[in-house]
A and B are shown apart, each in its own frame.
Chain A
Amino acid sequence: MDTTFKHTSVETSTGPVASEPTTLGTDLEQEVGETVGDAFVDDPRMKARNVDVFYADKQAIHNVSLDIGRNEVLSMIGPSGCGKSTFLRSINRMNDTIDICKVTGSITLDGEDIYDRSMDVVSLRARVGMVFQKPNPFPKSIYDNIAYGPRIHGLVERRAELDEVVETSLRKAGLWEEVKDRLDQPATGLSGGQQQRLCIARTIAISPEVILMDEPCSALDPIATARIEELIAELSENYTIAIVTHSMQQAARVSDRTAYFHLGKLIEVGATDKIFTSPDHKLTEDYITGRFG
């Protein structure tokens, strides 16, 4: 198993990278040429290889190759516009909803190519769930929010089973005690943190293999954030989690591995401890020490 991955071809002279104003000058273009660190793991749940993402003519992701290990928490950090959210949305094909978006390269889930013609995007998203930046409960009751996924996927047959799924999901999301007496009330009446945990519970309810989280705490206060972080730690026992975050402290607290993105390229990947204590790449070091970003 090779531990470093080298790009064979990297476009540095064309595309948005060259036109992007940066204070780091021309050194950067040579420096970002390759991903350093451990992009690959022994037991990957998902594998991305040579992934490019384009929005119309603009290339948002440049040749990213990365593994997400089984039952690990992978965090993706980097300055705004670095493509970490775009990459996350490629993993469960949420980019399909954007007409002008095009993804090339290969991404596999348990060895199956998710962009293959035979892959049903509906069942893919049932296996790779997603939690968004802003809590987005449906305008329904708390119960119906959780029951939504199991119902559309036909996961349960009797009302009692559904009740059980709802309770289990809410318990796992640490929300059961707070809402058990008002399951029939609108989910939009919950607080922001509760809404976000509800969205996590809604994702858990369809028993995905992977949960993607796109800055799940950026709209929450510190207490609600701490609650979600605890939850991520608990969930990592059973699920594979990839989380995009703006907060380096959060990445350091919750994740096993960390990937640093810069201007659409994957700069460095490695064990979280290593990335935050002795990064190999200068850009990573600059970012985590707060030099820019």
Chain B
Amino acid sequence: MQTPTLLTVLVILVLAGYWIGRQRSIQLAQPAGGIRFLRSLPNYYGLMAVVWAGVPAVLVLLLWGAFDSVLVRGMVMAGLPEQFQQLTAERQGLIFNQIGNIARGADPSADPALLAAAEHYKNLLQISVVARSIVLLSIVFAGIGIAYFYIKPEVRAREHFEAVLRTSLLTCSLIAIFTTLGIVMSVLWESIKFFRIIPPTEFLFGLQWSPQIALRADQQGASGAFGAIPLFAGTLLIAAIALIVAVPIGLMSAIYLAEYAKPKVRNTVKPLLEVLAGIPTVVYGFFAALTAAPFIRDVAHWIGNTFGWEVFANASAQSALAAGAVMGIMIIPFISSLADDVITAVPRSLRDGSLAIGATRSETIRKVIFPAALPGIVGSIILAASRAIGETMIVVMAAGLSAKLTANPLDSVTTVTVQIATLLVGDQEFDSPKTMAAFALGLTLFVVTLGLNFIALKVVNKYREQYD
């Protein structure tokens, strides 16, 4: 049986197992006087049968999928004549691919040894599929059978099922954790390789970023400098501009929504604001590149020419200001929506207390509600900040790629994420420092955002307990 058929049959069998378990428990309960004499409801006996039949089957299926191809490959390669056994691992891999192609009929011309191997390969695959079906079906039948004979009125099927449920929930959360760990480990591994070539001090404190490595000795303009400070500076500059735009607008709109707006207005405006978060960043990107950046450049040039200020007159077409401002618009809903929630969550009694002393609405907001909501507001700002630091698309399109160390928002800058994207795009050697630099940058970025999230959590937790 092929995988879809097999899965369908297994599901049907397991469902049948549910029904059998349920019926069995009801049948056993009859002599005692009905299902109230069971330790658990009939459903739980059915679920117990499902667990006993289904869980081992799923585990075996997964293991089979993981080791099947490895085993088959080993057996095919072991069956090859002597001359193939002495080849290097890479060559053997190619040979195995060729055998696979022959087996699929994609490569008709080959020597007899390989043809024989392909035949062997096909047989093995068939055997594997048949064996898998037999093994799985027996497991399911065995599971249902064991459950059938195990079910007695005094069996605690509910506790049993709850325990399985708890384990599977735990497994789900572990999957997320282990995936994160896996990502961190792979990034860390490549970063360590990078730091063997480029010392960490140079990477962290170098002022020159020019990741082009000379392919030939006489190549010009390819110094290969990996000082990441210009990137960090660019990231900070753009994130700071974004926050300068987003924090006041976001907070003010949150205060308006939470304290002043009538319910009708609030129910219209809040979803509309949240639409901003739903716009794809690439759309923001071309808005920034085609509308905001030229506009800012023209205004800067006009100011520069009118007043004779060189900084303005030299404004570049791609600017940190354009990218930062548009990014600021993008993260407004993060701040406004979260801050609105925390402001609304401030107990009504605090508002009443302040109003009853004769404070005006704005005094109440500034002196009582805002301080009480501050941890949540700080949390929302830090969340928005880590979003701004991680943003790539807008910066690629509107702020340019040149790694300049500058504090001038009218100049073009680049950020960590943009450099990661450019380093990994196109044909690259995967073991050159240029490529591995992307991992080092990724690691740095990860550490920074992790730190920010950690601080946000600390701040929120530190003050949260005081207000309840």
Q: Would you call A148 and B367 a contact (CB within 8 A)? A: yes
Contacts A99-B262, A132-B352, A136-B347 known; A149 to B358 CB distance under 8 Å? yes
Mostly, the B contact residues are helix
A124 CB contacts on chain B under 8 angstroms: 358
B357 on interface, CB distance cutoff 8 Å: yes
A140 on interface, CB distance cutoff 8 Å: yes
The size of the chain A interface, using a CB distance under 8 A, is 28
Q: Would you call A125 and B357 a contact (CB within 8 A)? A: yes
Write the nearest CB–CB distance from A133 to chain B, whole angstroms: 8
Q: Which of A126, A129, A130, A139 has the most CB of B within 10 A?
A: A139
B11 on interface, CB distance cutoff 8 Å: no
Q: In the bound complex, how far is the Cα of B466 from the Cα of A126, in angstroms?
A: 28
A92 on interface, CB distance cutoff 8 Å: yes
Contacts A136-B347, A139-B372, A152-B367 known; A125 to B355 CB distance under 8 Å? yes
Q: Would you call A203 and B357 a contact (CB within 8 A)? A: yes
- Taking A152-B363, A152-B367 as known contacts, 13 extra A-B pairs with beta carbons closer than 8 A to each other, sorted by chain A number, are A94-B356, A99-B262, A122-B359, A125-B357, A130-B352, A134-B349, A138-B350, A139-B466, A140-B371, A148-B354, A149-B358, A186-B466, A206-B357
Which residues of A come within 8 Å of B, CB atoms? Answer: 92, 94, 97, 99, 122-126, 129-130, 132, 134, 136-140, 148-149, 152-153, 186, 188, 199, 202-203, 206
Q: In the bound complex, how far is the Cα of B358 from the Cα of A206, in angstroms?
A: 9
Contacts A134-B349, A136-B350, A148-B367 known; A125 to B466 CB distance under 8 Å? no
Q: In the bound complex, how far is the Cα of B374 from the Cα of A138, in angstroms?
A: 13
Q: Would you call B349 and A125 a contact (CB within 8 A)? A: no
A97 CB contacts on chain B under 8 angstroms: 351-352, 355
A126 CB contacts on chain B under 8 angstroms: 357-358
B360 on interface, CB distance cutoff 8 Å: yes
Q: In the bound complex, how far is the Cα of B357 from the Cα of A137, in angstroms?
A: 12
CB-based closest 6 A-B pairs: A126-B358, A136-B349, A130-B356, A125-B358, A136-B353, A149-B357
A94 CB contacts on chain B under 8 angstroms: 352, 355-356
The size of the chain B interface, using a CB distance under 8 A, is 21
Q: Would you call B358 and A123 a contact (CB within 8 A)? A: yes
Q: In the bound complex, how far is the Cα of B293 from the Cα of A52, in angstroms?
A: 61
Q: Would you call B355 and A188 a contact (CB within 8 A)? A: no
Q: In the bound complex, how far is the Cα of B353 from the Cα of A206, in angstroms?
A: 13
Q: Mark B358-377, 1 if CB is under 8 A from A, else 0.
A: 11100100011001100000
Q: Would you call B466 and A152 a contact (CB within 8 A)? A: no
Q: In the bound complex, how far is the Cα of B368 from the Cα of A95, in angstroms?
A: 20
Q: In the bound complex, how far is the Cα of B358 from the Cα of A151, in angstroms?
A: 11
A137 CB contacts on chain B under 8 angstroms: 353
B67 on interface, CB distance cutoff 8 Å: no
B467 on interface, CB distance cutoff 8 Å: yes
Q: Would you call B352 and A136 a contact (CB within 8 A)? A: yes
Q: Which residue of B lies closest to A121 (CB)?
A: B358
B467 CB contacts on chain A under 8 angstroms: 139, 188
Q: Would you call B349 and A152 a contact (CB within 8 A)? A: no
Q: Would you call A129 and B371 a contact (CB within 8 A)? A: no
| Chain B positions 316-365 with a Cβ under 8 Å from a chain A Cβ | 347, 349-360, 363
